[in-house]
Amino acid sequence: MLRTLTRAVVRTATTSDRVAGGLARFATTLGQCALVVLGVHLAADDLDDRVLASLSWVVDQADLRLAGPVETVAGWFGRPAGSWQWWDALPLGAMSGWTALTVELVAAGLLCGSFLLTSRTAQPTWVRWKRALSVQAVVLPLALSGVLLAGGWSLSMAIEDVLPVAEAAPWASRAAAAVVAFAALLRFGLPAWLRAVAALEPPARWTAGWAAAVVLLPVGALAWIHGVPVWGTLRHALEAL
């Protein structure tokens, strides 16, 4: 009787522990992906502006170079001038928005996949990384680190925005936000990065991963440039010197 009871208790404890362990692993994975999604969006938001500016430039150039010839051709067909200037009616804002969103989703998928689709055994080492040297081995760690840092900053801004402003201690909400951001980077960001780097395999060719790099490079660069809140401070410090 007693033995049965003990066994039942032990079994329940073990099961709940396993469930808790599984939940924790699931929670970590979810947190890692969420941090990536946050960071990628900070970069994509900036990408949207840049795509819009480039599209506007292209349309301006098209208008400058094509307006005359197109009008001539339209004239041959007896169409009034201006009726074929399709570029004037392009919804540039929506085009840039959807482009940025597509890049964002692809980048988030690639980055999450880089640590989700691996076994979590090995630790990354310098030697292993050098053996795996390829386009992917360079671009992925750089892009992922920028995106994770940007995700941390985005999280800290979200926390700061929901906290009330304390008149007496305006720095309190900032400090709290910073603590949460650093905790998320340590708990979710760092393990994700280590896992992704450890998973890099020796490539068949050094160009391996170039297609992914086309998406990851701009996203990573923008995340580093606009998603890491240190450049202003650094510039201030340099100007003070």
Smallest gap, in angstroms, from Cβ of residue 201 to another protein? 28
Binding flag, residue 105, another protein (CB under 8 A): yes
Our CB check for another protein shows the closer of 133 and 157 to be 157
Binding flag, residue 97, another protein (CB under 8 A): yes
Binding flag, residue 228, another protein (CB under 8 A): yes
Smallest gap, in angstroms, from Cβ of residue 238 to another protein? 11
Binding flag, residue 226, another protein (CB under 8 A): yes
Smallest gap, in angstroms, from Cβ of residue 231 to another protein? 3
Range in contact with another protein (rule: CB under 8 A) among 4-12, 93-101, 125-133, 212-220: 93-101
Binding flag, residue 24, another protein (CB under 8 A): yes
Our CB check for another protein shows the closer of 85 and 118 to be 85
Member of 124, 133, 160, 221 binding another protein (CB under 8 A): 160
Each residue 177-206 as x (binds another protein by CB under 8 A) or -, in order, gives ---x--xx--xx------------------
Q: Spell out the residues 6+ positions from residue 107 whose beta carbon is closer than 8 angstroms to its own.
A: 40, 43, 44, 143, 147, 215, 216, 219
Q: What sign does the dihedral 104-107-110-116 (CA atoms) show? A: negative
Print the SS3 string covering the chain: CHHHHHHHHHHHHHHHHHHHHHHHHHHHHHHHHHHHHHHHHHHHHHHHHHHHHHHHHHHHHHHHHHHHHHHHHHHHCCCCCCCCCHHHHCCHHHHHHHHHHHHHHHHHHHHHHHHHCCCCCCCCCHHHHHHCCCHHHHHHHHHHHHHHHHHHHHHHHHHHHHCCCCCCCCHHHHHHHHHHHHHHHHHHHHHHHHHHHHCCCCCCCCCCCHHHHHHHHHHHHHHHHHCCCCHHHHHHHHHHC
Each residue 30-69 as x (binds another protein by CB under 8 A) or -, in order, gives xx--xx-xx-xx--xxx-xx--x----------xx--xx-
Range in contact with another protein (rule: CB under 8 A) among 78-86, 119-127, 130-138, 190-198: 78-86
Q: Is 91 left (phi over 0), alpha (psi -120 to 50) or beta?
A: beta
Q: Which residues of this chain interact with another protein, rule CB under 8 A?
A: 20, 24, 27, 30-31, 34-35, 37-38, 40-41, 44-46, 48-49, 52, 63-64, 67-68, 71-72, 75, 80-83, 85, 88, 93-94, 96-98, 100-101, 104-105, 108, 154-155, 157-161, 165, 170, 180, 183-184, 187-188, 225-235
